[in-house]
Amino acid sequence: MATAQTRNLARTMMAPAVVLLFIWMIVPLVMTLWFSFQNYSLINPMMTGFAGLANYTYVISDPSFVQALINTLILVLGVLIITVIGGTFIALLLDQPIWGQGILRILVISPFFVMPPVAALIWKNGFMHADYGLISHLMRFVGLKPIDWFAQYPLLSVIIIVAWQWLPFATLILLTALQSLSEEQREAAEMDGANAVNRFWYIIMPHMSRAVTIVILIQTIFLLGIFAEIRVTTGGGPGFASTNIAFLVFRTGILSNDIGAGSAGGVVAVIIANIVAFFLMRAVGKNLDA
């Protein structure tokens, strides 16, 4: 954008999109903030007016809120650990020269194209069903007692499903990083007497650290708001065992018809996401410099 004319032209051309996106963002946010300070329950439509901080104290003092917060953290961390470690491992394997590499890569990436509710349904009925799921069949085949995944390990089940969905993303980003490592550097390390483990630890890992940072940042943003997988499989239960913050907002606002408290929960969720983002950027963001 060299001249004033091109600069003005660019701004004019971009303006409609920017304005539209701004409205799209600001209207729901303002409405949520507004509702969170109002008495607004569909069960009791007569009770209206300013509620002060009542909605917030109601949400935060609720014991299920603390549990949902812990569940959210476990869910995010669990999926991150599985996808980053598993993704690194699969990326290292896919980087080997093998026959049918192209097809294999597409197959590995394909789970990412499956919509979350569909993926959750496949896992719920195809794999993890206590009676006729594939895992139950296999366990019976080797003589073990089948597990009722969603009743016994609800949060773990959700973690497994979400990790399965996000593994391709991590693999893809990490594989790209792996392939950008210069061949001469690997060869130099080989000449310097580094074995495969040392090459991975001293050469490949530092090279991939930026890609790992990007995977962690992007995934965290999406994982904080996991909803469809919980809705389709456990419905947040048993009790609140697999309810995260996003699902708690849904339960309060939609299932319990308390729009005011639900909005307050939404605002709290936004604040929590920002706190997480702040610490995350401090912890891993330095890898993105330079």
Partner 1 sequence: MGSIALDHVNKSFGDVQVIPDITLDIKDGEFVVFVGPSGCGKSTLLRLIAGLEDTTSGHILLDGQDMTKAPPARRGLAMVFQSYALYPHMTVRDNIAFPLKMAKMPKEQIDAKVEYAARTLNLASYLDRRPRALSGGQRQRVAIGRAIVREPKAFLFDEPLSNLDAALRVNMRLEITELHQQLKTTMIYVTHDQVEAMTMADRIVVLNAGNVEQFGSPLDLYNKPANRFVAGFIGSPKMNFVDGAEAAKHQAHSIGVRPEHFTLSRTPTPGAWKGTVAVAELLGSDTFLHVNVDSFGLFTVRTGGEDTYKHGDDVYLTPEPTRIYKFGPDGKAL
Interface positions with partner 1 (CB under 8 A)? 182, 184-185, 187-195, 198, 202-203, 206-207, 209
In the bound state with partner 1, the residue whose beta carbon lies nearer, of 208 and 245, is: 208
Closest separation in Å from C-beta 99 to partner 1: 15
Residue with smaller CB distance to partner 1, 103 or 197: 197
Q: How far is the CB of 268 from partner 1 (least distance, A)?
A: 40
**How many other C-beta atoms can be found within 10 angstroms of the C-beta atom of residue 174?**
26
Identify which of residues 142 and 290 has a Cβ nearer to partner 1 in the complex.
Answer: 290
DSSP 164-229: HHHHHHHHHHHHHHHHTS-HHHHHHHHHTT--HHHIIIIIIHHHHHHHHHHHHHHHHHHHTT--HH
Tell me if 111 sits within 8 A of 167, measured CB to CB.
yes
Taking the complex as a whole, how short is the minimal distance between the CB of residue 191 and partner 1, in angstroms?
A: 5
Nearer to partner 1, 6 or 180 (CB): 180
Q: What is the DSSP letter of 282?
A: H
Q: Which residues contact 103 (CB under 8 A, 6 or more apart)?
A: none
CB nearer partner 1, residue 256 or residue 287: 287
Provide the minimum distance between the beta carbon of 92 and partner 1 in the complex, in angstroms, as a whole number: 19
State the minimum distance, in angstroms, from the CB of residue 140 to partner 1.
Answer: 48
For residues 260 and 249, the answer to whether their CB atoms sit within 8 Å is: no
Q: Output the six-digit token pair for 31.
A: 């409405």
H helices of the chain, where? 4-36, 54-61, 63-94, 101-109, 116-121, 134-141, 149-152, 154-179, 183-191, 196-198, 205-223, 228-232, 245-250, 259-284
118 or 196: CB nearest partner 1:
196
Which stretch of DSSP H or E encloses residue 208?
A: helix 205-223
Shortest Å distance, C-beta 215 to partner 1: 18
